[in-house]
Structures are given as C-alpha cells and as structure tokens.
Amino acid sequence: GAFLGVAAVADRLDGRVVLLGTPAEEGSSGKELMAREGAFDGLDAAIMAHPFGYDAADHPFIGRRILRVRYLGVPAHASAAPFMGRNALDAATLHYQAVAQLRQHLPPGDRVHGVLSGGDRPSVVPAHASLEYYLRSPEAATLRELSDRLTEISEGIAIATGTGVELDWDPLPFTLPSRFNRPLNERWAVNQEQRGRRVLTREVVPSELAASTDFGNVSVRLPGIHPVIAVAPPEVALHTAEFAAYAGGEAGDRAAVDAAHGLALTALDFLTDPALRAAVAEDFAAAGGPLDVERYFS
C-alpha cells in the first residue's frame, strides 16, 4: 500500500521509490544476502514497519551471531578401557557450564543461549559432541568481544580435555544491531500521530524486549528506520496463535493501513524535502557512516 501510494505520484518526484520483497528476518538473514547481491545499491534510505504490541519509532534490535561447536574425541570402552578415550561429551558439557559461568560477567544487554547433543551409548566414550549458540549484543563492537570470549572458551576446553574442536561461525549470515536514523524516525512519529497513534520513544521502551532483525545490516549500510506498530496488546507475545488472531482481525487491518500511511508519507517527506535529506545524511555520518558488514568479524 505504501509503495503504490508513492508510486502513483512518482512522476512528480525528484527521485524514485523501490519496493523490495524480502524473506522473513528470523534466522535466514535474507536482507543481508540481498545486500551482498546489490539489492540496496544506489538507494539513499530504506524504511519498513513491523507488527508489534505497541507503537515505537526506535525500538532496540540487537545483533546476533550463530556459533556451532563440535568436539572430536577418541572412542573407547567406558568400562574396560576409559583411559584410552577422550570424551567429547565431557568437553561439550564443560563448554556449556563455562558459558553459564560467563553470563554473570556479561553486560546487561548481552545474551548467550544454546543447546548441546552428544554420545550414543553409555558404554562408549563419546567421540563426538556438539553445541549451537546464539550470541546477542546491543552494539556491534560488544558482539565482537562476546564472539572472542566464546572462541577462547571453545579452544581452552579442547586443550583441557584433550579433544579436537571445530568452530563454525555464522552458518547463516549474522545480523548487526540496528542503527536507526533520528530525522526519519521523527517524521514517522509525526505521520503516525496524524492517524491517532501514540509513538513511544526509546527512553520508555523496555530494553529487555530486544530481539534481532536482518534490517540491522541494512541500517548500517544506509540510513534506515524499522518502526513497530501495535497490532495486539503489549502482553500478547509475538509469533503466537493469539497474536496471529489479532493480526488477522480488525486491529491487524487498521495497523496495516496506518503503517502504509506512515511509510508513504515518510517516503514523500524524504523525496520532497532537501533539508530532511541533508539531516538524514548528517545523522547517518555522525553515527559512523556505512560499515563493511561482510568483513566486520574477519
């Protein structure tokens, strides 16, 4: 709806508007894959909206990396000759506990959560065990520091247990924390208030509700915003049947119309207001300018 509204007057605009259909942000990091193929090249700003439990222009979205750890041991009979083996499952459980101990020393916004698997039968010293973690942090730099800590833990435990270790970072592309553009956010808020919505600021948005989105990788390449719009009451969790019911009902229809209105007017403001474009570019530069996303963790 937003694209069609702006496209209808495109011949009167000094610029162009592009509609990009993207995969869901959870897991696949589709926008990052699209960015690597040039989908966002030549664009001056990117805007989108996301359904939520309240209205906010600057909801925090934190970065996320995936780490898969595989320990390689030596099998042996667990009763007759355990001293001949090297226990990969012991290494994995030590790793899990080491990460648990690390959490008390992490900054409040950092998150590490994982699962482990290993071993086939109690009578055999496990030769293989694996873990998979999600690492999250509100800043790109602290996400890198957290990644380094997990690498050190993985390698240290391999030495301690006499096992080998393989680390597979980012089997799917990582997502960086979102960096939202203040002038564009302010225009979004004004345009939503015209629809009778009260847009919350970051100062009053609960930081513990932070999740991750691949739009973060877009927002550090070019100016962007990713406001959220209320579809259900705040107490209704996302990705649940209850939230889906709200999204498919009157509240969802109203949110879709209001989001289209806000995106279209914000795009038109950007395309028709040179002062806004200058402010958007200045804000983006002050925040650090474009990052080399692909090689950020190299």
In whole angstroms, what is the distance from residue 135 CA to residue 112 CA?
A: 5
Q: What is the pLDDT of residue 1?
A: 87
Which CATH superfamily does the domain covering 2-61+178-286 fall into?
Zn peptidases (3.40.630.10)
Q: What is the pLDDT of residue 167?
A: 99
The mean pLDDT value of the chain amounts to: 94
| Model confidence, pTM | 0.89
pLDDT over 90, % of the chain: 90
Q: What is the pLDDT of residue 24?
A: 79
Other CB atoms within 10 A of residue 222 CB: 20
Domain ranges of the chain: 2-61+178-286, 63-169
Residue 15 pLDDT > 70: yes
Mind listing the pLDDT tens digit for each residue in 221-250? 999 999 999 999 999 999 999 999 999 999
Show the tokens assigned to 199: 């847009």
Q: Do domains 2-61+178-286 and 63-169 have the same CATH topology?
A: no
Residue 210 pLDDT > 90: no
Residue 176 pLDDT > 80: yes
Residue 208 pLDDT > 70: no
In whole angstroms, what is the distance from residue 224 CA to residue 45 CA?
A: 5
Cα Rg of the chain, angstroms: 23
Residues 6+ apart with CB under 8 A from 224: 45, 46, 47, 48, 178, 179, 180, 181, 184, 215, 218
Average of per-residue pLDDT across 82-107: 97
Q: What is the pLDDT of residue 202?
A: 75
DSSP string for 97-138: HHHHHHGGGS-TT-EEEEEEEE-S-TTB--SEEEEEEEEEES
Average of per-residue pLDDT across 132-156: 97
- Beta strands at 228-230 and 50-52: parallel, antiparallel or unpaired: parallel
Average of per-residue pLDDT across 195-210: 80
Mind listing the pLDDT tens digit for each residue in 37-91? 999 999 999 999 999 999 999 888 999 999 999 999 999 999 999 999 999 999 9
Q: What is the pLDDT of residue 213?
A: 93
Q: What is the pLDDT of residue 178?
A: 94
Mind listing the pLDDT tens digit for each residue in 252-294? 999 999 999 999 999 999 999 999 999 999 999 999 999 999 9
* pLDDT tier, 25 (very low <50, low <70, confident <90, very high otherwise): confident
The tally of CA atoms less than 13 A away on the side-chain side of residue 280 is 26
Show the tokens assigned to 115: 């699962």
Q: What is the pLDDT of residue 28?
A: 77
What are the distances in angstroms from CA 177 to CA 6, 62, 65, 87, 211? 29, 4, 11, 37, 10
Mind listing the pLDDT tens digit for each residue in 158-171? 999 999 999 999 99
Q: What is the pLDDT of residue 204?
A: 78
- Choosing among 1.10.760.10, 3.40.50.1820, 3.30.70.360, 3.40.630.40, the CATH entry for 63-169 is 3.30.70.360
